């Protein structure tokens, strides 16, 4: 399989290229290994995420994703797509509306809401919905947008891609 140049590289959008109303999205399906890896990475071994027996007897009746798994997907869109490389997350506020469980497909959408010329910050509305179109996370993210154009080689670490 041949990759296009766009798949091999991350290209940012500079502060001057961003328009209020511009948006980007990402779709990911939560797999059991995602929950395990997130727990190892963060050290959060809350049994709601890590122990199926505990989860079955709890409020959700199944293993649920760490809330910040969805929050990290927002960061992924900001850092890799829009604005992309060179973006610095300054502030993020999130509301967790419902749980995400194994097999859920989450669509992360961000939309530029406001720009601040004095410091090159951009505020984004952020929404994560599941495969049923139900909102699981909503909030805002404020970033320092890149001021210089950048194109960097995408590095693959996951699932054996090089």
> What is residue 79's predicted lDDT score, i.e. its pLDDT?
96
Given a cut of 50, whether residue 7 has pLDDT beyond it is: yes
- Residue 99: CA count within 13 A, CB half-sphere: 16
The two structure tokens encoding residue 121: 């910050």
Which CATH number applies to 5-31+65-152: 3.90.700.10, 1.10.600.10, 3.50.50.60, 3.10.129.10? 3.10.129.10
Query: Quick one: pLDDT band at residue 158, thresholds 50, 70, 90?
Result: very low
Q: What is the mean pLDDT of the chain?
A: 86
Is pLDDT at 161 greater than 70 in this prediction? no
Task: For Cα atoms 159, 77, 152, give the angle at the middle one, nearest 5 degrees.
Answer: 70
pLDDT at res. 145 = 98
Is the pLDDT at 143 greater than 70? The verdict is yes
pTM over 0.75: yes
Instruction: Please say if the pLDDT value at position 39 is more than 90.
Output: no
Q: What is the distance between the alpha carbons of residues 102 and 109, in angstroms, rounded to a whole number?
A: 20
Largest CA distance in the chain: 53
Beta-carbon count within 10 A of 38 CB = 18
> Residue 126: in which H helix or E strand, if any?
strand 121-129
Q: How far apart are alpha carbons 36 and 52 in whole angstroms?
A: 12
Going by C-alpha positions, the residue among 81, 71, 84, 76 that lies closest to residue 145 is 84
Q: Domain ranges for the chain, please list them.
A: 5-31+65-152
């Amino acid at each position: 399989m041949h990759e296009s140049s766009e798949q091999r590289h991350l290209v940012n959008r500079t502060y001057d290229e961003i328009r209020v109303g511009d948006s980007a999205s990402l779709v990911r399906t939560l797999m059991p290994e995602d929950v395990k890896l997130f727990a190892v990475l963060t050290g959060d071994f809350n049994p709601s995420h890590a122990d199926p027996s505990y989860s079955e007897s709890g409020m959700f009746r199944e293993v649920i994703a760490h809330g910040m798994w969805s929050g990290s997907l927002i960061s992924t869109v900001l850092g890799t797509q829009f604005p992309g490389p060179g973006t610095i997350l300054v502030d993020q506020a999130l509301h967790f509306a419902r749980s995400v469980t194994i097999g859920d497909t989450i669509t992360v959408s961000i939309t530029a809401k406001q720009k601040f010329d004095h410091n090159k910050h951009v505020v984004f509305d952020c929404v994560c919905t599941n495969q049923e179109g139900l909102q699981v996370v909503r909030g805002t993210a404020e970033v320092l947008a890149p001021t210089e154009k950048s194109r960097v080689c995408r590095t693959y670490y996951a699932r054996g891609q090089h």
